[in-house]
Structure 1
Amino acid sequence: MSRRKPANDGPCPVARSVDVIGDRWSLLIVRDAFDGTNRFGDFQRNLGVARNILSDRLRQLVEAGILETRPASDGTAYKEYVLTERGESLFPVVVALRQWGERHLFARGERHSRLVDRKTGEPIPFMAPKAGNGDALMPGEAEVRKLT
């Protein structure tokens, strides 16, 4: 499968980010990597994605520096896909998507998985942008300064 042409290689960070990580399978691979999945077969079983698509997305994530391959930690001939520092920095993005989904895509009382602090077992607090003084920053209080 050939890599698609970037939608926008201009000065917009959102467009560049979507070109790298905005694909459904790429985001779900990153999500599963945060959950400890690191082998091709395990990604395929968890996601139910076709082998050729999974292979392509893993390659793209490695090329983008989000994942790296390493020899299997158990000494077998397999390789493992591990989040890089760049990949780990996507954690707030995955958490924000999760929290948005929890708020808007589940009926009241509908059960779903929970993201909790491993040490305390407490749910992760809701993430929201903050102004320099620590107050919540609403969309109307921020602006994108575009290049002229």
Structure 2
Amino acid sequence: MKKQTSKKEKTNISSNDRMEMMLEDMQDQIKVIAEGVVTVNDKVDRLEGKVDKLEGKVDRLEGKVDKLEGKVDKLDADLSSFKSETEANFKLAFSHMSLLEDEIVSLRKEFEEMKDKDYVTREEFQALNKKLTSLEIKFEKIMTANKKVKQSVR
């Protein structure tokens, strides 16, 4: 004979089975989530390692940039100094050249005046020769100064 089960027992058994199934399903889902968390943690750990390496590289680059800034500042100062010296040298050279030009004009004028004369005195010739010698000496000084400037630039 068959034992008859009441509706209530069927429902209880079904409810228990359903509850067990739900718990097993929840456990499976929790395992999947836990595995996902472990995977994410591993990835985060690897990323932290990479970030630490990058941080070290950035620190080294900062040091190199600081060194370069120092070198650029020194070059800037050197260039400013060189510019000032060059400007002073050019002013001096132009000043000397202007004086030489004035003396050349004066000598040329005296030569023109002598050309028109029939006779040149010894004193006039010596005065003109003295001016020419002075002009040659000044020109030689300028050339010597020019050589020194060229050597200091190298």
Interval of TM-score (by shorter of Structure 1 and Structure 2) = under 0.3
Q: Whose relative contact order is higher, 1 or 2, with alpha carbons under 8 Å and at least 6 apart? A: 2
Please give the TM-score of this superposition, normalised by the length of structure 2: 0.21
Larger helix proportion, structure 1 or 2? 2
The structure having more radius of gyration, on CA atoms, is 2
Please give the TM-score of this superposition, normalised by the length of structure 1: 0.22
